Amino acid sequence: MVTAPPLPAPRRSASRSTPRPGSRGGLFPLLLIAPAATLLITVLIYPLVGALVDAFFESNLLYPEKTFVGFENIISAFQGQFWPLLATTLTFAIPATILPFLVGLVAALGLNQRMRGRAVLRSVLLFPWVLPGVVVSFLWLWIFDANYGVLNGVLRSAGIISENIGWLDSGPGAMTAVIVARTWASFPWMMVMLLAALQSFPGDTYEAARVDGANSWQRFRYITVPGLMPVASVVVLLEFIWNFQQFDLLYVLTGGGPAGSTTTFSLAVYETAFKGFDLGMAGALGVLWMVILLPVVLLYLRRMEADN
């Protein structure tokens, strides 16, 4: 669960609110940002740098001394855990980005029409997204339960399976479970963002297209899709970055198992640092993680730049 940066918002009357060049205010504006800056440097910048520096040391949570080892950690991470971890992380992150997007898109398109009860439905559909990650995990742990879980019950009653499936006991089953749980918890956010974008479309565009003889599909293809692209690309990129960070669901629902089949970067870094106490290796995995995500982050930032 992460707080997100701003998304391309409908631009406000920037000109009116931009102060005249005179409002520099000397040191006063710096004083105003000082508390925020202190917190950010202490809790975000310093820790990030600290973890990345650790990658070049033999560093252990239990001992204060550190020895410089250069690229040794990074090389051994690269030759060892890195590729399997990357594969697992992508196996989780790609479907867990696409599925919530699709469900969110369908929900947004469905709600983009005046109708009775729309406001109620929109807020109720957001419930999965506000629940704590731990609660989401407990809930899906119960649904996927091998013996009495409702999923097996429904599938058996419907005659789709004849014997209970131990979803969380097999790699593919456990991965399916976390992806489904993640889809459930994050589609509402996508829905709200896409719906806000849809509602910012000028209504007469559709009317004009209709007059010109465009059918529903053409209006969707040539007005809705291009109009949604800016917001869609931002939410997809952010969701992908967040999925690399996802911890709660993986930790509680599958614990990274069985046999490491759902151990992603974030779980591996956590385990390496807090169970194995090997800060050097955790930092090395972090360096590789950031290198892998860098293109996605840059793409996202360029997108934001374009919108502002």
Taking the least distance from each CB to other proteins, the nearer of 84 and 132 is: 132
- CA-nearest of 121, 112, 119 to 227 is 112
**Of residues 184, 194, 198, 232, which one binds other proteins by CB under 8 A?**
184
The answer to whether 178 touches 95, Cβ cutoff 8 Å, is: no
Decide if residue 67 touches other proteins (CB under 8 A): no
Measured between its terminal Cα atoms, the distance across the chain in Å is: 25
Determine, following the binding rule CB under 8 A, whether residue 265 of this chain makes contact with other proteins. Answer: yes
What are the backbone angles phi and psi of residue 277, rounded to the nearest 5°?
60, 10
Q: How far is CA 214 from CA 67, 150, 190, in A?
A: 69, 45, 28
Question: Which residues, 223 to 252, sit near other proteins by CB under 8 A?
Answer: 238-239, 241-245, 247-248, 251-252
The answer to whether 61 contacts other proteins (rule: CB under 8 A) is: yes
Fill in the per-residue mask, 15 to 54: x = in contact with other proteins (CB under 8 A), - = not in contact. -xx-xxx-xxx--xxx-xx-xxx-xx-xxxxxxx-xxx-x
Burial of 220 (0-12, 13-18, 19+ CB in 10 A): middle
Coil, strand or helix at 251:
helix
Q: How many residues lie near other proteins (CB under 8 A)?
A: 119
The residue within the footprint of other proteins, chosen from 75, 87, 94, 124 (CB under 8 A), is 124
Smallest gap, in angstroms, from Cβ of residue 173 to other proteins?
A: 18
Q: Which of 177, 189, 216 is nearest to 107 (CA)?
A: 189
Does position 205 bind other proteins by CB under 8 A?
A: no
For position 295 contacting other proteins by CB under 8 A, the verdict is no
Report the greatest alpha carbon distance in the chain. 76
Specify the stretch interacting with other proteins by CB under 8 A; choose among 75-83, 85-93, 142-150, 168-176.
142-150
By the rule CB under 8 A, 178 interacts with other proteins: no
> Across the chain, how many H-helices and E-strands are there?
17, 2
Nearer to other proteins, 259 or 291 (CB): 291
Does residue 77 belong to the site contacting other proteins (CB under 8 A)? Answer: no
